[in-house]
Amino acid sequence: MKILFIIFSIIPWLIHAQTKYPTNYFSNPLEIPLILNGNFGESRSNHFHSGIDIKTQLKEGLKVFSVAKGNISRIKIAHGGFGKAIYVSHPNGYTTVYAHLKKFNNSIEEFVKKIQYKKQSYEVDLYLNTSDLKVFNNEVIGFSGNTGSSSGPHLHFETRKTVNQKALNPLLFGIEIKDTRRPVVNSLYMYKKLKSGSISLPYKVVLNKINDSTFATKKIKVNGLVSFGLSGFDRQDLAKNKNGIYEISTFLNENLINSMKFDSFFFEESIKINSLIDYSFFVENRKRILKLFLEDENDLSIYSTKNKGFVDVKQKTELLFKIVAKDIKGNSISINVPLDYENMVKATLTNSQGVSYSKKIENIIENDFEFKNSHVNIPKNTFLKNRKIKIEHPNDTLKIINPYIPLYKNIKIKFKNPNNNKGNYLAVKDYNNKELFASSKLNPLNYFELKTKKFGLYFIKNDSLSPEISPLNFKNGDWVSNKKYLKFKILDKQSGIKKYKGKINGKWMLFEYEYKKNLISYEFDSFYLSKSKNEVEIEVEDMVGNTLIKTFTFYRN
Ligand SMILES: [Zn+2]
């Protein structure tokens, strides 16, 4: 009896027990005051943001420090994504990641360059042994930049659990960001669970300010299962940036229904951002509503309970639904939503979507569609629930349409190449009428093959144009003795650039590619064998194999 009592009194404590992260272990990765233009867990396209984005005063080249001692466990250089990134594993079981760097420190540069020259590739992904490169606390490991898929100079900084690479909110480790501002909720929306089990369209509810921390709606008259969604942001003290909200909880008559909190998530979960936001609304309005209820496919680990978040408004009940939005410092606002029963159902809440999408896709089975000139395979669990799409292949275009549903897995498309003209490729037009290269990969049966999460219109195009190459910071025959770099503009106007190569005096040299600027550049390094007359050869190939090679002469002493 006594033991049972102890067990029962421990259980609630266990559920609420929080993982304790060391808050004195990590120092700051930059020596300037930390100002964020991105929060952990905030919504990005098809993923949650896995770290914090720290402003670098609109500059590149700021010193980036290892936040504790450890060893470099991974170095990845890619044209997109994190650009140049360093992963440091620390003896306390956590890994820190520093991304979009301009450059590494000298010893790391040297280590990486040797491998890049050996592999003859700018892009590398290196997993290191613990003894390869050790770092001290506060050692300069690199310099901040804007490499990869970054839209302005900043440092993307992450903390992860080393064993499983789970992304953890860096602000849980005591990194200090001045923040006395409350989160802001722009708009609140009501949703109703319809008899069919589907969810209604969002119905905007007016918010009235009571005081700085409290907002309320008028009494809402409704019946059945209802919940809410909101769009909002959080701001810290030193910048105007709109970052994500850390924690949102819902209450019914002061009892907790559910709360979502961005402390950690697994990268595999990240695509399920599309089950947290109202995806259809996002497609139409490019604005994200965070749903405060869970649909069946949403098994994200950010929730505190298994409650789905709906409340049942029945006859003779008066309920108070309450939403509390908090930042990591505890600044909060609350929204009171009084609910009252009413028999009438508002017409605005009915769901009219899916009417023209006639083909039902059973989600638990694999679906194959065979047309005269194409084949589409939709693997099971692509949508996480049954969906309706439009799929047909009249004339020359394969149409796979329903802009309102997210795909969680790749579908496979095969599309017959109509003739053997050089330069044919498969293109796709999305809902914004943007035309993109899709595939130039032909299988032995002369079909273009593609794996993609993109619905749209697929058709054949032809690219007969070669890429373009032009020197940027010198002219053919120039002396460049005082220049640190050789820079070229490379461009392909149709299918896009597949690969490029730069040689000096016949030898492969390390050219870095900055796709955002259509720029490749070589920095004179120890691999350059000094000669007065030099020949540089640039070769660029597009997605369909059109290749251009250009040679230039430069002099240097
Ligand atoms: Zn980032």
pTM: 0.89
The torsion of the CA quartet 295, 301, 304, 306, rounded to 10 degrees, works out to 40
How far is ligand 1, taken at its centre, from the CA of residue 167, in Å?
Answer: 12
**Nearby residues of 548 by Cβ (< 8 Å), 6 or more positions away:** 466, 467, 468, 469, 539, 540
pLDDT level of residue 349 (50, 70, 90 thresholds) = low
The Å distance, Cα 146 to ligand 1 centre, comes to 11
Distance 51 CA to ligand 1 centre (A): 6
For 481, residues 6+ apart whose C-beta sits below 8 A from its C-beta are: 555, 556, 557
How far, in Å, is the centroid of ligand 1 from the Cα of 53?
A: 5
Cα(275) to centroid(ligand 1), Å: 21
Per-residue pLDDT, averaged over 390-418, amounts to: 92
Cα(500) to centroid(ligand 1), Å? 27
Assigned token pair, 440: 């130039």
Question: What is the 63 CA–ligand 1 centroid distance (Å)?
Answer: 18
Q: How many whole angstroms from 160 Cα to the centroid of ligand 1?
A: 14
* Position 53, amino acid: D
Q: What is the pLDDT averaged over residues 11-32?
A: 75
Average pLDDT in the 450-462 region?
95
Distance 306 CA to ligand 1 centre (A): 30
What is the whole-number distance in angstroms between the Cα of residue 117 and the centre of ligand 1?
29
- For residue 23, what pLDDT is reported? 92
If you measure from the C-alpha of residue 387 to the centroid of ligand 1, how many angstroms do you get, rounded to a whole number?
33
Q: Quick one: which of 411, 405, 88 has its CA closest to 277?
A: 405
* Structural contact between residues 384 and 367, judged by C-beta atoms closer than 8 angstroms: no
Q: What is the pLDDT of residue 295?
A: 87
Q: Give the per-residue pLDDT at 239.
A: 85
Using only C-alpha atoms, the chain has a radius of gyration, in whole angstroms, of 28
Whether 352 shows a pLDDT value over 80: the answer reads: no
Question: Which domains are seen in the chain, by residue range?
Answer: 36-173 (2.70.70.10), 184-349 (2.60.40.10), 359-462 (2.60.220.30), 468-555 (2.60.40.1220)
Beta strands 485-491; 468-471: pairing state? antiparallel
Residue 478 Cα to ligand 1 midpoint, Å, equals 40
Return the pLDDT at 5. Answer: 46
The pLDDT tens digits for 473-486 are 999 999 999 999 99
Is the pLDDT at 13 greater than 70? The verdict is no
Residues 53 and 435: their CA atoms lie apart, in Å, by 31
